[in-house]
Amino acid sequence: MSVTADNFMNLIEKPLEKEVTQENALTMIQCKVVKHLEVLEGQKIEDEDISEDIEMLQETLHNSMHDLSSFDEYSSEVKSGRLEWSPVHKSEKFWRENALRLNEKNYELLKILIRLLESSQDPLVLCVSAHDIGEYVRHYPRGKNVVEQLGGKQLVMQYMGHEDPNVRYEALLAVQKLMVHNWEYLGKQLPVQKEG
Residues 86 and 64 occupy one common structural domain? no
- Calpha distance 86→76 (Å, rounded): 12
Report yes or no on 110 lying in a domain: yes
Position 171 in a domain: yes
Choosing from 43, 68, 93, the residue where a domain stops is 68
Query: What is the pLDDT at residue 193?
Result: 52
Q: Identify whether residues 26 and 120 lie together within a single domain.
A: no
pLDDT at 2: 46
Q: What is the CATH number of the domain that holds 148?
A: 1.25.40.150
Q: Are residues 88 and 185 in the same domain?
A: yes
Contacts of 140-145 spanning 24+ positions with Cβ under 8 A: 140/99, 140/100, 140/102, 140/103, 141/181, 143/99, 143/181, 144/178, 144/181, 144/182
pLDDT at 16: 66
Same domain, 8 and 63: yes
Q: What is the pLDDT of residues 84-111, one digit of tens each?
A: 998 889 888 889 999 999 999 999 999 9
**What is the rounded average pLDDT for all residues in the chain?**
83
Which pLDDT does position 117 carry in this prediction? 96
pLDDT in tens, 56-76: 888 877 776 655 568 888 998
Task: Pick out the chain residues at pLDDT < 50.
Answer: 1-3, 181-184, 186-187, 190, 196
> Given this model, what pLDDT does residue 1 score?
45
Asked, for residue 73, whether it belongs to a domain, the answer is no
Give pairs for 159-166: CB < 8 Å, separation 24+.
159/117, 159/126, 159/130, 162/123, 162/126, 164/123, 164/126, 164/127, 166/123, 166/127
Considering the domain architecture, whether residues 40 and 133 belong to the same structural domain is answered as no
pLDDT of residue 9: 72
**Residue range of the domain that includes 118:** 81-189
165 lies in a domain? yes
Same domain, 101 and 147: yes
Shared domain check, 95 and 8: no
Domain end marker among 46, 68, 90: 68
